[in-house]
Each structure stands twice: as structure tokens, then as C-alpha cells.
Amino acid sequence: MNLLTPEIARWIVDAAYILVAFLFISGLKKMSSPVSARGGIVWAGFGMIIATLVTFIAPFSEHALPTQLATNFGLVIIAIVVGGSLAWWSGRRVAMTDMPQMIALYNGMGGGAAAAIAAVELYAGNAHGVVFSTLAVVGALIGAVSFSGSGIAFAKLQGLIKRSFRFRGQQVFNLALLVSVAIIGIALISGFHATPAAVTAFFAVALVLGITMTVPIGGADMPVVISLYNALTGLAVAFEGLVLQNPAMIIAGTVVGSAGTLLTQLMAKAMNRSLGNVLFAGFGESSSAASGPVTGSQKPIEASDAGVMMAFGQKVIIVPGYGLAVAQAQHKVWELAQLLQSRGVTVKFAIHPVAGRMPGHMNVLLAEAGVPYDLIADLEEINAEFETADVALIIGANDVVNPVSRTDKGSPIYGMPILNADKANNVIVIKRGQGQGFSGIENGLFYLDNTRMLYGDAQGAVNQLIQAVKSVG
């Protein structure tokens, strides 16, 4: 212990945290380009390992060691092993389609941890002064809401909760909860009633608020909510970092807080929803599935004809939707694309920002099947190209190619930017049956003169197309 004087321990911890902050920020920076993204998460991972290891030294930087340090050391190690191995096990085996709810779950755990830190500080009466106790209380509120809210988001996307619970005066009820948690919070800050019972009541109300805020939100809006909770957890971590005067927590938490806020805005914009709309109004409540001016009939096509059409085309643009992922047909689609490529057909994948369960989710699912990212184009890149495409192949996508969003002001998706698949010379739609998208809106695309419907599940239909292209020879 002679070598590790409090001064030296302090110096090691502080120096290491600078390195940690550098690794986190440059890791996130690298993660914003597909070429360097993999290296980015590894850098950030090293940052986390360094931060964790060096924190074991931190207690020795104090002149008076914490009273139960030996026991607590053991508890910390057990807790890390328990939490870490459970998360490792679940993270390795989760299917790519289930990724959104898994992110929600891990995010909620972070929020819960931030709330737990605040709880320890508040029960122990460590947060002295108005500034520190305010930070602790606000961080605790945000963390607790993020914890229980993310839990609900997980349960909804996982299918454990199937309906959206709404009742009369729900928003008034939530407001009442918010007011009461604020009153208890102020009591805690002022030190007027900072009893353990008050702390307990504070956390109880905050946790309930997270639940009641999240249950009315529909599954389709959940990605935006998860992203919001992600940003909030970052903010909660930053606040608790200010309480503990820990620069690594302040920097990492704040960076995530602001980056997450931006990401939430981008997602909401891509879905043509405002954040307020997502949080305070259920989808389709304002206008109930307006039946647009759709005329004509759906014209079916045989897989063999569709195969010939693509095999002799110059350019085919594939528009995958979540129906593709549900049918686990990504690998088959890539096989079809490669088959067409070998015949000299230019193949591209067009991804709408909200394809999949959250923005970018479909890219992950295609990447899993081995589709190179340079064949995948997003909305702005590809929309001008549809006019030159011989075939637009729509698989399991619906609302994101619905031209009604351009014309029908009464439609809930009016104004949402769509993929201009209708501009292609021929449109082939693979679809289970004649149903409607999640928003329950008729799709004008299906009735156009240049559109043909190939009925069947994505897996089977794509398989038929592969056989058809092969038999062209």
C-alpha cells in the first residue's frame, strides 16, 4: 500500500479517465461511417475496460478508506460477473430481428443503474447542498423513468404486451404523477423531508410514471421512444456524474445525451412524426384510416413471368420491408440478387428510413445475409433512379411505397417521404394477400397499371423467382 498513496491513485484515475473520454468520442466518431464502424465499437470497448479497471483503484485515492471496503470489493466483482455474463449470454443469442427490444432492455438497465446511484446517495444523505441534491434527484427521476419505460418498450416489442392501454384522462393522470414526483423531489432537495420514506415514495412514483407514459404508445412508434430513452439515460448518467464529480461519466453521458437527442429527431422525422405526437397521441387517432381514392384492381402475376421480366432487365431495384425479415428471406433475396448480377443485371437495394423496426434495422438484416453495404441505397440516393429501373421488386413493404402519401391530405401518412417505386417501368409486389399495412391504409401502388402482384410469403415467392431466373438459362 506504500506505493499507492492517495495522490498517486488519484493521478492514475484522472489520467485514465482522459484516455477513456478520448476512446469513447473517437469510437463514436468511427461508428458514423460503415468503413470504420467496427473499429469504433472496439475502441469504445477498450475505453470501458480501462474505466472499469481503474475504478478499482479509485477508493485508495481517499485519505480515509470506505468503512466496508473489503466486503464491497467482493460485492462489486460478483455483481459485475453476474450482470456481465447474463448480458453476454443474452446478447450473443438474440436474433437480429429482435435487436430493437434488446437495445431497449440494455438501455433500461443503464437508466436503472443511474437511478440506483442516486438512491444510494439520497438514502445515505451524501448529496449535500442544493446543487448536488438537485442533480441527484433530477438524474434519479430521468433514470427511473427510462428504466421502467424501457422495460415496457421491451415487453411491447417482444410481444409480451399486445395492446396499447389507453383510458380517459390518461394524460391528466400522467401529469398528476409528474407533479407529485416533482413535489417529493423538491422536498428531498430542500432537505425538509429527506426521510428514507420520502426517497422510497419518490422512486415508486417515478417508476410508475415511466410505465404509464409508455403503455399508450403504439408498437410502430416504439423505436423513437427507445431512442428517446437512450438519450435520457445518457443525461441521467451525466447528472449522476456531476454528483459524483466523475469526468468520465459527465463526458460519456452528455455525449450520448446530445447524440441520442439528435438521433431521436432524425428518426421521428423519417417517420413523419413529431416527438410530441409520438408521446402524446396514438397513431391513427386523429384520422381513422381514411379510404383514399383508390381505383382499379390488383393484377396477379406468375413467378415464372416475373422471373423472365427481371432476368432480361437492365436494372432491378429491390425494396425490402419488415415482411421480408419476418419471413427470414434475406438470404434468399441476396441469392436472387447475385443470380441476376451474374446475368449482368444491375441490382440495388432501396431502403426506406423506417424499413424494419427502427431506422437502419433493415440494413443490419441485409448485412446479416451478406449483402454488401455499397449495394444498399437510402431514399435520397435511390429515388431518382426508379425511373430508369426496369423492375422494382417490393418484398414485404407497404406504407413506404404508398403513393397516397403524396396526394391524399386525409391520409395519416400524408407527407411521409416514400420510395418512388411507382415510377419504375414495372413493379412486382410480393405480398401475403390483399391486406393493408400497419396503418391500415389502402396502397395505391398495388392498383397501378404497371404493377403486378405475386402472392405468397416472401421466402416461398423469392424461391420461385430464383427457380424462374435459373430456368431462363
Partner 1 sequence: MIDGFIAIYIFMLAAFTGYEVISRVPVILHTPLMSGSNFVHGIVLVGAMYALFHASSTLEQVIGFIGVVLAAGNAVGGYVVTERMLEMFKSSGQKKPAGGHHS
What residues are annotated to the active site?
399
**Residues found in the chain:** 473
Nearer to partner 1, 29 or 193 (CB): 29
C-alpha cell read off for 189: 432537495
Pick from 331, 343, 406, 423 the residue near partner 1 by CB under 8 A.
Answer: 331
Contacts of 57 (CB under 8 A, 6+ apart): 4, 9, 12, 13
Q: Which of 392, 228, 205 is nearest to 315 (CA)?
A: 392
Contact between 321 and partner 1 per CB under 8 A: no
Contact between 33 and partner 1 per CB under 8 A: yes
Contacts (CB under 8 A) with partner 1, residues 133-192: none
Q: Which stretch in 31-39, 205-213, 385-393, 398-406 sits in contact with partner 1 by CB under 8 A? A: 31-39
Contact between 20 and partner 1 per CB under 8 A: yes
User: Shortest gap between Cβ of 452 and partner 1 (angstroms)?
Assistant: 26
CA distances from 310 to 91, 121, 178, 464 (A): 39, 65, 57, 13
CA–CA gap between residue 350 and residue 183 (Å, rounded) = 51
Nearer to partner 1, 399 or 442 (CB): 399
Number of residues that bind partner 1 (CB under 8 A): 129
Contact between 211 and partner 1 per CB under 8 A: no
Q: In sequence order, which ranges of 312-456 are alpha helices (DSSP H)?
A: 322-326, 330-342, 361-369, 379-382, 404-407
Contacts of 286 (CB under 8 A, 6+ apart): 412
User: Shortest gap between Cβ of 173 and partner 1 (angstroms)?
Assistant: 28
User: Shortest gap between Cβ of 273 and partner 1 (angstroms)?
Assistant: 15
Nearer to partner 1, 59 or 219 (CB): 59
Contacts (CB under 8 A) with partner 1, residues 60-79: 66-69, 71-73, 75-76, 78-79
Nearer to partner 1, 83 or 191 (CB): 83
Contact between 313 and partner 1 per CB under 8 A: no
Q: Which stretch in 95-103, 160-168, 276-284, 438-446 sits in contact with partner 1 by CB under 8 A? A: 95-103
Pick from 226, 316, 397, 404 the residue near partner 1 by CB under 8 A.
Answer: 226
Contact between 1 and partner 1 per CB under 8 A: no
CA–CA gap between residue 136 and residue 132 (Å, rounded) = 6
Nearer to partner 1, 227 or 398 (CB): 227
Contacts (CB under 8 A) with partner 1, residues 416-445: none
Contact between 258 and partner 1 per CB under 8 A: yes
Instruction: Indicate the pairing of strand 346-351 with strand 426-431.
Output: unpaired
Beta bridge partners of 393: 318, 428
102, amino acid identity: M
Contact (CB, 8 A) for 337 and 413: no
Contact between 241 and partner 1 per CB under 8 A: yes
User: Shortest gap between Cβ of 31 and partner 1 (angstroms)?
Assistant: 5
Q: Which of 255, 235, 260, 258 is nearest to 24 (CA)?
A: 255
Sheet holding 376-378, edge to edge: 376-378, 346-351, 315-320, 391-395, 426-431, 451-455
Half-sphere exposure of 224 toward its Cβ, with a 13 Å CA cutoff? 24
Handedness of CA 432, 436, 438, 442 (dihedral sign): positive
Contact between 227 and partner 1 per CB under 8 A: yes
For 316, phi then psi, to 5°, come to: -120, 130
User: Shortest gap between Cβ of 458 and partner 1 (angstroms)?
Assistant: 16
Nearest 5°: the CA angle 259, 262, 264 is: 110
Nearer to partner 1, 178 or 377 (CB): 377
Nearer to partner 1, 62 or 285 (CB): 62
Pick from 19, 161, 178, 266 the residue near partner 1 by CB under 8 A.
Answer: 266
